[in-house]
A and B are shown apart, each in its own frame.
Chain A
């Protein structure tokens, strides 16, 4: 009886949480296909769906191009971040570089509010003539994604026993080759999770994108914000663009969530 009561409570709370999480997506979906006269009628659940907004956004607007910008920025940022973060994490893990303090210091970049960092970034982008280009955005994104990915990967490296690469070095490899042949294959799940996580952070960024990009270098979040015009909010089209921005990130997280949680959790235990 007690177990039944507990189950009822657990399932009830889960249902409420699910509703809380899913409702915005359901509302977005409905808004994207509702006739404009019914958009502000949330009580109306039965209607004839219209694909006008989807057609307008996908085929008659710059949103696909801006989405491509987001993809390019995300991918390049992740490549740079992994390229820098991976050896850094290896160094922290194997050589205890800087002790525990340096590990915490690398996260300090996360603590600086973007509103402060944007000033020097903007000036640097202007100086290097990369304002209103994806390169300015990539540079800005690496400021917060490199530390996160480094921190994330330290835990995965520490799960690989150092005896494995020592064995490889005795077996005939240099340390670099031991890293590539032995350590790297064993952290592939962690790398994939880190890459997806970094991509999602970059994909979702609105602030730096608003500040550093403008015309053709806009990204998807900026494009979404662009539907809020002085003439009014194009809610239906905005909903379509929002769904376009959410679905890829959500799908990716479903596949890597296990490794993502492992990466965050292991650092907490090891300290």
Chain B
């Protein structure tokens, strides 16, 4: 068993507190993704799990072992850095077997393990090359091979896809998922890219300013963001957030831009609506929708089979995502009539940005 438990982990760099009482439990054999903007503490959390940083307070458990005071070499974790950290003075074979040689494993066993790993990753022909002679994707495979060969309890990945181009990124996501399915080990990924997070994780942990804001499955995070930060961070294009008030069962956007009937009286709020939940009125099928609003098409961007459209409703600009079949009617300057999917509306309190759960 190799679940990871962090209890009351705090970290200070000088007077700057970068982690504030982090409590989390990562299930055995799961993929957990730490996601958040730069400086949120996700990499520091990863480094504390690995032992490269020590926590200022709190405890860390890997499996049943309290590893809080253990050196990285004794924690039986493997880490893949953003820049892969391949040893430039060693060829691929020696890079992969480095950890085994460090542990003084017998040469026969080293050779056997390396052979298995290179076969699995398809990098047998690279063994005599040096890191400078490899492409980015090949370097990543070698770094992963170096991690796998040690048979660690936990895999830690620090921004594993950041250095790859868009096409390779998508390929490697699939590759990493295939790998995880085969190895069945606990894996923790750190990324600032919410798309990577949503596509790879069994569990997503959204962090901001040293705190865990929300933890859940990708679906939970996407469909029920607990606050405005999560709502705006997850999803591409990001959620539209419209300021207004809910008074006497009516949401009114600022400057009377539009109004929507809603249950309750909550004062100053933000309404959140994802671009894909804004629907052309004539395209409504079985969704329960709000009142319709007239909007002017201000700008549109083609994304293959989808269009990102900037709609102006009086003085307010919101982004919508339409299917390419409506390309002809979405011309700049055209007036369109849109509705919102009522079941996909989100409301957040203005004073603390927290979600308000309102029934339909």
* Chain A residues engaging chain B, CB cutoff 8 angstroms: 161, 163-164, 166-174, 177, 181-182, 185-186
Contacts and interface: CB of A to CB of B under 8 A. Distances in A.
Contacts of A181: 102
A171 B99 contact: yes
B337 interface: no
B102 A173 contact: yes
Contacts of B52: 166, 169-170
Contact of B73 (A163, A164, A169, A185): A169
Given A172-B73, A186-B88, A166 B102 contact: no
In the A-B complex, the 10 residue pairs with the closest CB atoms: A172-B102, A171-B99, A167-B85, A163-B85, A185-B89, A172-B73, A170-B72, A170-B79, A163-B81, A169-B72
Interface of B: 50-52, 71-73, 77-79, 81, 83, 85, 87-89, 98-99, 102-103, 146, 150
Contact of B98 (A166, A168, A174, A185): A168
A174 B87 CA distance: 16
Contacts of B150: 171-172
Contacts, number: 55
Given A182-B87, A186-B89, A172 B81 contact: no
Given A166-B85, A167-B85, 7 more contacts: A161-B83, A164-B85, A168-B102, A170-B78, A171-B78, A174-B73, A185-B89
Nearest to A177: B102
Contact of A171 (B51, B88, B89, B102): B102
15 contacts: A161-B83, A163-B83, A164-B85, A164-B87, A164-B88, A166-B72, A167-B79, A170-B51, A170-B73, A170-B77, A171-B102, A172-B150, A177-B102, A186-B88, A186-B89
B84 to A, nearest CB: 8
Contacts of A186: 88-89
Contacts of B103: 172
A171 B71 contact: no
* Residue of A169, A170, A181, A186 with highest tally of chain B CB at under 10 A: A170
Nearest to B89: A185
Contacts of A161: 83, 85
B50 A170 contact: yes
B186 to A, nearest CB: 15
A182 B98 CA distance: 10
A131 to B, nearest CB: 45
Contacts of B50: 170
B69 to A, nearest CB: 15
A177 B89 CA distance: 16
Contacts of B77: 170
* Residue of A161, A171, A181 with highest tally of chain B CB at under 10 A: A171
Contacts of B98: 168, 171
A173 B51 CA distance: 13
B88 to A, nearest CB: 6
B146 A171 contact: yes
A182 B102 CA distance: 12
B71 A174 contact: yes
A173 B99 CA distance: 8
B53 to A, nearest CB: 10
Contacts of A174: 71, 73
* Residue of A163, A172, A177, A182 with highest tally of chain B CB at under 10 A: A172
Contacts of A168: 87, 98, 102
* Residue of B50, B52, B78 with highest tally of chain A CB at under 10 A: B52
Contacts of A171: 73, 78, 98-99, 102, 146, 150
Contact of B81 (A166, A173, A177, A182): A166
A172 B99 contact: yes
Contacts of A169: 51-52, 71-73
Nearest to B73: A172
A186 B103 CA distance: 22
A99 to B, nearest CB: 12
A167 B82 CA distance: 11
B81 A167 contact: yes
A172 B102 CA distance: 6
Contacts of A170: 50-52, 72-73, 77-79
A91 B89 CA distance: 22
A187 B85 CA distance: 16
Nearest to B150: A171
A161 B71 CA distance: 20
Nearest to B88: A186
A65 to B, nearest CB: 41
B43 to A, nearest CB: 12
A161 B83 CA distance: 10
A168 B86 CA distance: 10
Contacts of B72: 166, 169-170
A167 B88 CA distance: 13
A151 to B, nearest CB: 24
A186 B130 CA distance: 14
Contacts of B78: 170-171
Nearest to A175: B71
Contacts of B146: 171
Nearest to B47: A166
A45 B241 CA distance: 91
Contacts of A166: 52, 72, 79, 81, 85
Contacts of B71: 169, 174
Contacts of A185: 89
